[in-house]
Amino acid sequence: MAKKVLDIFKNRFTVPFKIKIKNQEDVILKNEPASLIFTYEDGASTKDLGGAEINESLSTGEQRVFYLLNIIFQIETRKKIGMTNCL
């Protein structure tokens, strides 16, 4: 499901960073919430942001994108567990 959510996100939004799921195995096997990592690539250097760093480092627009990504995760999770009537 996590890969599906990232694919939905990548098809709909263009952002200056890549998004990875830090705990992908736990998301798949244990149904845990995804722990996201934003990776910025600036030519020769790469910077990963995760956890509290995300809120402190992202611009307002990037925070909105992060919020939308979380909404997509919630919708797909509810669809998976059959909570479509809660949408």
Domain ranges in the chain?
Answer: 2-82
- Across residues 1-12, what is the average pLDDT? 80
pLDDT at 45 over 80: no
pLDDT at 21 over 70: yes
**Is the pTM value of this prediction over 0.95?**
no
- What confidence tier does 85 reach under pLDDT thresholds 50, 70, 90? low
Measured between alpha carbons, how far is 48 from 18 in angstroms, rounded to an integer?
A: 9
Measured between alpha carbons, how far is 84 from 87 in angstroms, rounded to an integer?
A: 6
pLDDT at 27 over 70: no
Quote the pLDDT of residue 58: 76
Average model confidence (pLDDT) for the chain? 76
Of 34 and 85, the structure prediction assigns the larger pLDDT to: 34
